[in-house]
């Protein structure tokens, strides 16, 4: 065989080897793809998939709530996958965490715009120095304890909900982990104190917060917030304050009850035997529902609370003194709560300008 022919045979052999090295793997991949397509088509058309891929049937059954063997001890023993957990996680991370906190931002923007347009609600008359007792020391202690715990719970709750996105860039992962753990502990410890305060507020203040005809007129006038010429009549509490109180009753009740359901199983062992039974039937699904209610109501309540804080501080001249000292000026009482002022004046409980201490001959304001 001549050298030229040997060279051609060697070259063709190398080319054939290279061609087969590409063709054979691609061919096997193609056959595998064809088999997968046939299996998928058989599944769509109602073929017996279990005979071809029994693991698909197994995990499908697990996803539908089939029980098996697990290390969990308790009422959820044997449950491999809880179907509601995925839906709860998506709703928490989606609508609740990404959308609802914006209601707080929107409320803050509205209050800033209102203050820039209408300004502070100032008193129509100069101060005379005469004072009217409005809040007892116990009412003020209760109010400020509730306010401080509310702010602490709002900050720690939002930290647990959206802190990962907002605080990790500022604190780093290690710093946020420390803050998150502290937030959980503070939230769980302060929560019971806040619950007691809410219950006391409801019991002590409900008697003065039932609506009446005067409140309807106050609402029609917008509380005088958009007009500087007139101030609608009001008793001890105006309609806006009554609405805030009933929001406290409904929203506070929902937050307190849902919070108890969330932390109850963790601390149930500290309760007497009869009370432990209250949490026996509480499963993970019920706690997920309680979490949703807790988060939604708490965020919306925080947004509305910004309005309450604004009106009681920067929004209304003379309002803050009532809760800080227990007394309001005669001018503030006549302007914002004229019907209540008339009752106080008729009982001789308007203090003279000589001092802010209560006259021992005057009757103290009821605790409620």
Q: How many CB atoms lie within 10 A of CB 342?
A: 14
Tokens of 255: 């937050």
pLDDT of residue 106: 95
pLDDT score for 269: 58
> What architecture (CATH level 2) is domain 100-346?
Up-down Bundle (1.20)
Provide the token pair at 119: 């300004």
Q: How far apart are the first and last CA of the chain?
A: 119
For the record, the structure tokens of 268 come out as: 């149930």
| Burial per residue of 250-281, b for 16 or more beta-carbon CB atoms within 10 angstroms, e otherwise | ebbebbbebbbbbbbbeeeeeeeeeeeeebee
Q: Give residue 289's pLDDT.
A: 87
- CA atoms of 34 and 265, how far apart (whole Å): 53
pLDDT by residue for the chain (368 residues), tens only, comes to 666 666 566 556 666 665 655 555 555 555 455 555 555 555 544 444 445 567 677 666 666 666 666 666 656 665 666 666 677 788 788 888 889 999 999 999 999 999 999 888 899 899 999 999 999 999 999 999 999 999 999 999 999 999 888 899 989 999 999 999 999 999 999 999 999 999 999 999 999 999 999 999 999 988 887 776 678 899 999 999 999 999 999 999 999 999 988 887 776 656 666 666 666 666 777 788 889 999 999 999 999 999 999 999 999 999 999 999 999 999 999 999 999 999 999 999 999 986 545 444 344 444 33
Dist CA 19 CA 226 (whole Å) = 85
Could you write out the three-class secondary structure of the chain?
CCHHHHHHHHHHHHHHHHHHHHHHHHHHHHHHHHHHHHHHHHHHCCCCHHHHCHHHHHHHHHHCCCECCCCCCCCCCCECCCHHHHHHHHHHHHHHHHHCCHHHHHHHHHHHHHHHHHCCECCCCCCCCCEEECCCHHHHHHHHHHHHHHHHHHHHHHHHHHHHHHHHHHHHHHHHHHHHHHHHHHHHHHHHHHHHHHHHHHHHHHHHCCCCHHHHHHHHCHHHCCCCCCCCCCCCCCHHHHHHHHHHHHHHHHHHHHHHHHHHHHHHHHCCHHHHHHHCCCCHHHHHHHHHHHHHHHHHHHHHHHHHHHHHCCCECCHHHHHHHCEEEHHHHHHHCHHHHHHHHHCCCCECCCCCCCCCCCCCCCCC
d(CA 335, CA 255) in angstroms, rounded, equals 35
């Amino acid at each position: 065989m001549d050298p030229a022919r040997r060279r051609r045979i060697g070259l063709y052999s190398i080319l054939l080897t290279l061609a087969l090295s590409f063709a054979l793997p691609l061919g096997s991949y193609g056959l595998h793809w064809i088999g997968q397509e046939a299996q998928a088509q058989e599944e769509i058309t109602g073929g017996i998939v279990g005979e071809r891929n029994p693991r698909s049937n197994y995990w499908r059954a697990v996803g539908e709530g089939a029980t098996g063997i697990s290390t969990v001890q308790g009422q959820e023993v044997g449950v491999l996958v809880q179907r509601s957990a995925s839906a709860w996680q998506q709703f928490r991370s989606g609508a609740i965490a990404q959308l609802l906190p914006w209601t707080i931002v929107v409320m803050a923007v509205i209050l800033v715009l209102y203050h820039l347009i209408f300004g502070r609600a100032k008193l129509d008359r100069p101060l005379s120095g005469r004072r009217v007792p409005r809040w007892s020391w116990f009412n003020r202690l209760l109010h400020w304890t509730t306010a401080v715990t509310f702010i602490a719970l709002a900050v720690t709750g939002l930290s647990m909900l959206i802190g990962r996105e907002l605080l990790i860039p500022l604190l780093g992962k290690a710093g946020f982990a420390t803050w998150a753990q502290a937030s959980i502990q503070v939230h769980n410890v302060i929560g019971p104190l806040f619950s007691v305060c809410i219950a006391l507020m409801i019991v002590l203040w409900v008697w003065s917060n039932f609506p009446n005809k005067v409140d309807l007129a106050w609402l029609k006038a917008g509380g005088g917030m958009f007009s500087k010429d007139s101030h609608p009549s009001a008793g001890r509490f105006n309609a806006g304050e009554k609405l805030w109180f009933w929001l406290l009753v409904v929203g506070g009740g929902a937050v307190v009850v849902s919070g108890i359901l969330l932390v109850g199983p963790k601390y149930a062992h500290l309760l007497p035997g009869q009370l432990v039974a209250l949490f026996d039937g509480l499963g993970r699904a019920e706690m997920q529902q309680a979490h949703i209610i807790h988060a939604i109501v708490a965020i919306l309540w925080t947004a509305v609370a910004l309005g309450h804080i604004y009106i009681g501080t920067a929004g209304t001249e003379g309002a803050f003194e009532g809760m800080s000292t227990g007394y309001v000026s005669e001018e503030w009482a006549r302007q914002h709560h004229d019907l209540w002022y008339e009752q106080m004046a008729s009982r001789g409980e308007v203090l003279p300008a000589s001092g802010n201490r209560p006259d021992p001959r005057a009757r103290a304001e009821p605790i409620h």
